[in-house]
Every structure is written in C-alpha cells, then in structure tokens.
A and B are shown apart, each in its own frame.
Chain A
Amino acid sequence: MSRRPYTPKMTYGWWLERPFYTRYMIRELSSAFVTAYSGLLIVGLWRLAEGEAAWNGYVSALSHPATLVFQGIALLFALYHTVTWFAVTPRTTPVIVGEDFLPPQPVIIAQYAAWIFASAVIIGAALWF
C-alpha cells in the first residue's frame, strides 16, 4: 500500500468563504486608504512649505467634490481600521497586574480614552489658533 496524499489547492476566493476572513481582508484593504490619506497630508506639508499660493491651491483642491468623496471613504476605512485594531491590541501586549493578566476591556477602554483625548487636543488647538 503506497502513499499518495492529496494536496488541496487554496481558492482565490478563500477570503469570501468565512465572514472572519472577509473582515480581515477589509482591515488589510483599509491600510491602503490610511496610507493614501497620510500621503495627502504629506503633500499638504510640502505645499505649505512652497508658500501661500501653493497652500491655497491645496486647500481648494481638498474641497473639490472628488477629494471630499475620497476623504469620506478614507475616514470610514480609518475608523474600521482603528476599531478592529483596538479590539486585538490586548492580544499583543499582555499586562500582568498583581497575580493575574489584565482582562482585555481596560486595555481597549484606555485606547479609546487616549484617542478621544488626542482628538480633543488637536481639534481644540485647530479652533484656538
């Protein structure tokens, strides 16, 4: 009796086979939008360095409907990325307090608190100046 193992092939649509994989792939895709939006911000810095006319051109390009649509989509993906990332962070950084590990909830809550605080500071500074 000889061996003849059968090696199954992975399908191209593997990530559609389980909702868990699909959510993972959306998270991977969201990185592309986060990167693109970071690129947009870097272009802004570069235009700012070039002087007032360049900066004004950049600002008006930002309010063009196409850019607005892109920013809306990028925001949704960034939110998805953030929420899913916050949810898995406790797995990556186990903290022992006293005799036992910290449960995930305080870690998740701390991240949201830091996020809200950082956003409030930035929005506050933008309104102030």
Chain B
Amino acid sequence: MSNTTTVTLEVLRYDPERDQEPRFQSFEVPYDEDWVVLDALNWIKDNTDSTLTYRWSCHMAVCGSCGMVVNGEEKLTCKAFLRDYLGRGPIRVEPLRNFPIERDLVVDMEGFMAKLESVKPWIIRDEEKPVEDGEYIQLPKQLKRFKHHTLCINCLLCYSACPQVGLNPGFIGPAALALAHRYNLDSRDQGRHERQEVTGSADGVWECTFVSACSDVCPKHVEPGGAIQEQKIANSVDWFLDHLIPGRSSAGRTKE
C-alpha cells in the first residue's frame, strides 16, 4: 500500500488530575513504511500533543520500557511496524494490562519490582568462598541450560498477557518466576530451597494454570511458562521425597 499517506492511532488517555476513567483519543499521523508505533507516538508528542505520556529509551528492543498493547496484542512498540497494521482500521494503542495506569500509556511497576526482589534473584551460597580461592567455574553446557532465562528485559508483556495475573494481583508472575528459575538452575547457586518458600507459596508457581500466553508474547524467548512448569515439577518431587524419606525437609534447606 505505497499510496498510504497517513494512519490513525487511537490512543488511550488518562489524566489523573482530570479524568475519572481512561478514554480514547484519535490522532492522524503521517505514514512512513519504516516507522514503528513508537515513532508515531513520538510524532504526536512533537507535533500534536506534547502531554502524551509513555515510556521508551533504546528504540531497539533492548531496554524493555516501550511495552504496550497494540490492537489487543502485547508488543514492544519500537518493534511494531505501522506497515503490519495497514488496512485494518485505526491502530489502537493501550497501556499494558493488569497494572494500574499512572497516566496515558505509563503503568505503575512498583508491585512488579517488589515481586522481582521477593524471589532473591542473586546467587545464594551456603558459604561464600574466599576471593583468593578463585572464581566459580561454569562449563558452557551448564550455562546453556539456563541462558535463555537470563535474557529478560523486564518489558512486562508477559504480565499483561497473563490472565492469572489479572485475576490474582498477588501472583508473583512469569518474569519474576523465570528469573528465580534462572538462579535455581545456575550451577554456582545453592538457594533453590530458600527461594522455594516464595516461589512454592500460594502466590508462586501454583497460581499458574499454564495458559502459556507469557511465553507466546515474550519478545526475548525467555520461556517463562516453561520455567514455571519446571519449578512445579521440582516442587512436587521435593514434596514426595519429604513425605517418603523420614527426616527429609526441603523447606528452608539449601541445595545439596
């Protein structure tokens, strides 16, 4: 459609000082074949309405701050080309779902940050070895096992796509649980059972019903859905062993 000259964006607006609830506002934007939705938002901000509020930084699918819902699908708007939406009416741009809307397309991420911290996403050791003993060695094959879970950019597309997050706002959710799994699988880590107090709680992996929308929308192929199912399996094995072997208790215990 080379003769297209403009596109219409229907953008969700919410001004906490004036609006009781969000509303949509239409903007006419020049069309450029190489433009992404984020370019169109920037054009609006520069030319039509400087109050339009949204987050972005890198414009190259790295920083994870430009996540929004475009025509009902979670997208990094710096990767969502206008040309892919042509001929289907106005392009609807909304903030991520399942989060409080702070203003326009900006959501409140504080709850997520607390969840992320709650899973202790760092290497936990029973005893730290002294620096002079040298580094912890890890083979490429051991790294391979969890590398894809390390690629998360905290874009929160997965939280927006997950209906379980919407139904239970306390659910720790896909990205944080994938990060917990990333450390559990790290050959240098010994903190799986310590993390399990949170990840195995009612708000942890068991809140997941394997909708797998998270893995479907993830732009970095982190596979959070798989990470959660693997943890369910590990937790169940622990539960059985704890009941079969007298004296065994995995709660609060570190990995042998």
A contact set with B: CB distance below 8 Å: 1-8, 10, 14-15, 17-18, 20-21, 24, 28, 88, 91-94, 96, 99-101
Contact = CB atoms under 8 A, between A and B. Distances in A.
Closest 10 CB pairs of A and B: A5-B100, A92-B229, A91-B226, A4-B16, A10-B166, A6-B101, A7-B100, A24-B211, A5-B108, A5-B102
Given A1-B17, A5-B108, A100-B144, A28 B166 contact: no
Contacts of B144: 96, 99-101
19 contacts: A1-B17, A2-B16, A5-B101, A6-B21, A8-B22, A10-B98, A10-B167, A17-B72, A21-B213, A24-B212, A24-B213, A88-B212, A88-B225, A91-B229, A92-B230, A92-B233, A94-B226, A99-B144, A100-B144
B141 interface: yes
Contacts of B207: none
B193 interface: no
A17 B94 CA distance: 15
B74 to A, nearest CB: 10
B255 interface: no
Nearest to A89: B229
A91 B72 contact: no
Given A3-B16, A8-B97, A18 B210 contact: no
Interface in B137-189: 140-141, 144-145, 163, 166-167
A1 B16 CA distance: 9
A25 to B, nearest CB: 9
Contacts of B230: 92-94
A2 B17 CA distance: 8
Nearest to A24: B211
A13 B225 CA distance: 23
Interface residues of B, number: 33
Nearest to B103: A5
Contacts of B225: 88, 91
A14 B212 contact: no
B72 A6 contact: no
A15 B164 CA distance: 11
Contact of B72 (A15, A18, A92, A93): A18
B197 interface: no
Given A4-B17, A21-B213, A92-B233, 18 more contacts: A1-B17, A3-B16, A4-B16, A5-B16, A5-B101, A6-B14, A6-B100, A8-B22, A8-B97, A10-B98, A10-B163, A10-B166, A10-B167, A20-B213, A91-B226, A96-B144, A99-B141, A100-B144
Q: Which of A1, A8, A17, A18 has the most chain B CB within a 10 Å cutoff?
A: A8
Contacts of A18: 72
Interface in B1-28: 14, 16-17, 19, 21-22
Contacts of B97: 8
B203 interface: no
B216 interface: yes
B79 to A, nearest CB: 19
